Structure 1
């Protein structure tokens, strides 16, 4: 979530003087990082959307294609907001764009993060269902189920992001307009509510992450029980190759969680306690380190729009084969 940084210093007789504590390295690192993610993410996800559109006639993968398409749209929304964040960090954390855009870009960051988490989770469940209950999965109304689940995910994330959209998100700090920063100015009466909201989100993330881990362990167990050396089936596919691709897919999904989302949600709890000044015994160096770590985890979350297309390649053979055939035709 785009609520990067605030901290507290003590002066005089240990009375807290709440001031904004910055991590200055982000003003150099973030514009470079987002400057690379923006074109790469735009190209990768537009191409993924193009491939998914041309695979719409394949009924066998209707459900997972719906999830992939929605995940790609969520990634493109995040990518669309990156130029504003690049400008924000180039201006040393001073929001120069129209104030309503702060609320919109903050919402897009939140929506992308939790849509990605939930769609990756349902992709894992879908693959578990396909591996362990292939006949039941094939006989059910996949398209309708995919559409309903996708709609629910969007409703949940959009409802959760309303708090971002209902205010500008701008906090003034010595004539500097901070976008979704400045928790040090939170009213005392709201501190517990703000902290509880963050910890509920953290708990829900770990619940989803546990579900993804369990699904992928069960997929791996089911696949490993199948013998690798089998003759080609009637479709010409070698079961061993299918198993290896499936194992790569589940490793990729878990990798996206571990690299992009897990660090943020591990750091988020202590960081919230720090910025809300709920741990007065912590030293200023502890606050600074937590803030620096929080900035790094925000950056890592931006990688997910580049890693998600890898999930598509390993999740379905048809997606990968379409790309291979497309480039084979294009090359002389």
Structure 2
């Protein structure tokens, strides 16, 4: 899963193989693009997900199944945005990594853990909404411990897959212009041998299977939910499905499509020079686009976590208050009586009795 290359190099030489010509792949626009994008994602993502962590862990009285998945989704987003300052410095200095090998490994692996755990938690949230609306009796039997077991299993799988990558060979190397690259400039032999199993597993089990459930299954689920005439959770379930589908289509789908093309390019299946340059530039854009899921996920927490919107109530107190009551007597001009309470010199006037 995390074995996918972090190929965000500025001007890198993609080795086409022994005896083959090298294509000079350039994307000068990426320096400013990544710097601006990651800065926006860092500010908005940190504020939004930190607030979500606080509200989901401290302000929610009754912990639901979906809130457990959302809490872990906010946690993985927060971990990712916390390492973005390292990436901002990296791209601001034209892809020169100065923080050492360990920091390079942690930054790169958190990027891919964020992508694939987010997709996994999205799948869990949508399944939870589906069962809650269409099978309420079965939903009651599902306990929070079952959801915690699913979350623990997902974290264990994600971390165990990244262990070989973290403990493997060096992931930062010498780039062009006497710079140090991080998660890029791998040779063709590395892609066909070391990186190939990670890429195949990531595409199949990390994206194709869960995304197929989300993209194909949940529009059908939304149609069935919309047919229910009376349901307290109908509107919330539909809202959850629409938000999850929007985030997946806008952020994750373009990234994985270009990543598939990039994998074929690095494996020498695609060798056309024009196509190679286009794929390289498209990957730069989708790498920046996929990071925006950290900013959009708080919308999911806000609109679907509870029946009450998250807001602060500010009550302004005035000396004079108008109290409207419904009277049981019939009046010619008005069916309501208005009582005005006033405070004068610190003494409250006696309240008039209602007949």
Where on the TM-score scale, by shorter chain, does this alignment land: which range? 0.7 to 0.9
Distance 2:173 2:264 in 1: 20
Q: CA deviation at 1:7?
A: 5.2
Find the residue that maps to 1:279 and give its secondary structure: coil
Please list, as runs of the form range in 1=range in 2, the aligned pairs for 1:292-311 lying within 5 A after superposition: 292-311=281-300
1:109 aligned partner? 111
Q: Is the 8 A contact 1:128 1:215 kept in 2?
A: no
2:184 aligned partner? 181
Q: Is the 8 A contact 2:175 2:181 kept in 1?
A: yes
Distance 1:242 1:136 in 2: 15
1:68 aligned partner? 70
Q: CA deviation at 1:249?
A: 1.8
Distance 1:133 1:55 in 2: 28
1:50 aligned partner? 54
Please list, as runs of the form range in 1=range in 2, the aligned pairs for 1:154-173 lying within 5 A after superposition: 154-166=155-167, 167-173=169-175
Q: CA deviation at 1:37?
A: 1.0
Q: CA deviation at 1:279?
A: 3.0
1:273 matched to 2:264: yes
Find the residue that maps to 2:82 and give its secondary structure: helix
1:236 aligned partner? none
Question: 1:99-122 CA distances to partner (integer Å, 9 max, x unpaired)?
Answer: 310111011101111111111111
Give the structure, 1 or 2, with the largest relative contact order (CA under 8 Å, sep 6 or more): 1
Distance 1:2 1:81 in 2: 17
Q: Unpaired runs of 5+ in structure 1?
A: 231-238
Q: CA deviation at 1:211?
A: 1.1
Find the residue that maps to 1:161 and give its secondary structure: helix
- Larger Cα Rg: Structure 1 or Structure 2? 2
Distance 1:258 1:99 in 2: 34
Cα 1:322–1:286 change in 2 (3 A) is: same
Find the residue that maps to 1:286 and give its secondary structure: helix
Q: Is the 8 A contact 2:95 2:180 kept in 1?
A: yes
TM-score, scaled to structure 2: 0.79
Question: 1:138-175 CA distances to partner (integer Å, 9 max, x unpaired)?
Answer: 1332x101110000110111112224312441021243
Cα 1:261–1:279 change in 2 (3 A) is: same
Cα 1:152–1:92 change in 2 (3 A) is: same
1:234 aligned partner? none
TM-score, scaled to structure 1: 0.85
Find the residue that maps to 1:144 and give its secondary structure: helix
Q: Which has the higher helix share?
A: 1
1:258 matched to 2:246: no
Q: Is the 8 A contact 1:52 1:65 kept in 2?
A: yes
Find the residue that maps to 1:21 and give its secondary structure: strand
Distance 1:95 1:212 in 2: 37
1:223 aligned partner? 225
Cα 1:170–1:27 change in 2 (3 A) is: same
What is the RMSD of the two structures over their aligned residues, measured on CA atoms? 2.5
Question: 1:227-279 CA distances to partner (integer Å, 9 max, x unpaired)?
Answer: 3xx6xxxxxxxx5x853443222111011111111111111111112234343
Q: Is the 8 A contact 1:111 1:157 kept in 2?
A: yes
Find the residue that maps to 2:20 and give its secondary structure: strand
Distance 1:331 1:219 in 2: 45
Distance 2:102 2:303 in 1: 39
Distance 2:105 2:159 in 1: 13
Deviates more, 1:128-137 or 1:70-79: 128-137
Find the residue that maps to 1:328 and give its secondary structure: coil
Question: 1:162-193 CA distances to partner (integer Å, 9 max, x unpaired)?
Answer: 2431244102124321100012x2437x6155
